[in-house]
Amino acid sequence: MGSESYYFVKYDEDTGITADPSTMNGKKIGVLDSVMVTLLNRYLEEHDVSAEVEVYPDHIQLFSAFDSRSIDILVAESDGARGRDHAQVLCSFGGSDYYLCVSKNRPDLLAELNEAQALLASEEPNYLNSLKAKYYSVSVNAMAFSSAEREWMDSHSALHIGYLENYLPYSDTDDKGQANGLIKDIVPEMLNVLGISDMAVSYTGYSSYDDMIAAMGSGVIDAAFPVGGGLYYSEENGIYQSNPVVSSSTELVFKGAFTEGTTSHFAVNENNRMQYYYICSNYPDAEI
């Protein structure tokens, strides 16, 4: 059905432990009594690491040991472990596949499940990722900062946000020149959840989507909203997209009776590149 990756997690202020395996020598590593024990021991042996491995019977005792600092390093699944305060993900050391199992007396059911899996993979290739984003958004892998993210926060005291104007309810500039819409509400909430609400935030509005993306590329702003178009266009623009913040349906407006030629010619807002991306993705032969 999928796969699970296993990670080393440490306390963020413990600078003596890094992704270099040698820094784990003499450390106490906590791990759930599961297949992770075998993979952990194999990793330590392969990298000639001498560490004390403490095996716990359940997640409650394991996480309690980490929160009380009885262990130096926590071994956690990428999805199943909830985010911890002051945790930093070091690296992945292994993984395993997981499956649906049926009675050996029901080969018919197994055949139907395999067929359903193949159909799901072809019709909804991003289904598993969407489920992870929905149900594991606060997992340890999602909530713990990486070393690169920590370095960025240590060297920056403010976060500069760019937003698209004239695009309510998502974003706009009000009559006082201040950011308005979803962008003004969601950024402080995200920083609060991440535990960095003391970081100063500034907002810059852009009437053109292309100008906003160019500003991010040149380092004028740190993040932009809203951004759309999918992975292809994000790579074309040299940007990295987060998980979806919000979604909405797109409606096409036309005059008269609908025919096959109705979708051959479109008018879009030249300052809103997302409309252009939508038409290109869904009507590649249309004139814009």
pLDDT digits (tens, 9 = 90+) for 181-221: 999 999 999 898 777 888 999 999 999 999 999 999 999 99
Q: Which residues contact 95 (CB under 8 A, 6 or more apart)?
A: 3, 4, 5, 6, 39
Complete domains list, the chain, with CATH: 2-143 (3.40.190.10), 156-237 (3.40.190.10)
- Reported residue count of the chain is 288
For residue 30, the model assigns a pLDDT of: 96
Fill in the DSSP letter of residue 265: B
CA-to-CA separations, 1 to 98, 100, 105, in angstroms, rounded: 6, 7, 21
Q: Which residues contact 57 (CB under 8 A, 6 or more apart)?
A: 33
For residue 81, the model assigns a pLDDT of: 54
Burial 55-71 (b: 16+ CB within 10 A, else e): ebeeeeebbebbeeeeb
Q: What is the mean pLDDT of each run of 10 residues along the chain (288 residues)?
A: 85 87 96 93 96 94 92 83 70 86 93 90 79 67 68 90 93 95 93 86 94 93 88 81 80 88 88 82 88
CA dihedral 237, 238, 243, 248 (to 10 degrees): -10
For residue 143, the model assigns a pLDDT of: 58
pLDDT digits (tens, 9 = 90+) for 27-62: 999 999 998 999 999 999 999 999 999 999 998 899
